[in-house]
Amino acid sequence: MSRRLNDKTIAVLATTGFEQVELTEPVDALRNEGATVHIVSPEEGQIKAWDQDQWGKHIKVDVAVSDANADDYHALLIPGGVMNPDFLRQNDDAVSFVRDFFEQHKPVASICHGPWMLVEADVVRGRKLTSYPSIKTDLKNAGANWVDEEVVVDEGLVTSRNPGDLKAFIAKTIEEFGEGKHEGQTASESGGRSASPGSI
């Protein structure tokens, strides 16, 4: 079987309150394609999932977001859950980490409430994307072209609405992560900075 992500190292940005299946299913799929996946978080040790209407499993944290560098990764995944991005967007290191992927033209995938982090990082202006409907207005106010579709791909940015979209979301995430950098994947409509020297 072809493993399309054998040479890729992927960051997954999450904290306690992430929606369980929106992390576990994409991570399993990425690893099955050969990717090395690191869970990056402001918390140390473990983070706890939210599983529909109750607390779920614990996930081991690999890298503290304060120590994480986008230069070391090929792509970024941001799962949803209401609490997860709400906590993350209050963390300056997490917000900067997200923005750096756009400035380096690297693919980013985010589902459900995850795109809240894209608003905080100020990277959605002029971009086509989707999300959980309750944050539609926030995305529009930040300049995004919001659409109601199961998966939206815009120059390396992959977004979906909810766990029901995971099959399509995962397929497009693997495809975009495999393709690598996209020049249209930038931190603003006018374009972001070039990648740092020596970054992957």
Please report, as a single letter, which amino acid is at residue 89.
R
DSSP single-letter state for residue 9: E
Give the whole-angstrom CA distance, residue 70 versus residue 158.
18
Residue in 38, 105, 113, 182 annotated catalytic: 113
Q: Which of 44, 121, 45, 41 is nearest to 81 (CA)?
A: 41
Rg over alpha carbons for the chain, rounded to the nearest Å, is 15
| 113 is annotated as an active-site residue | yes
Q: Which helix (H) or strand (E) holds 153?
A: strand 151-154
Give the whole-angstrom CA distance, residue 161 versus residue 115.
10
Positions annotated as catalytic residues are 112-113
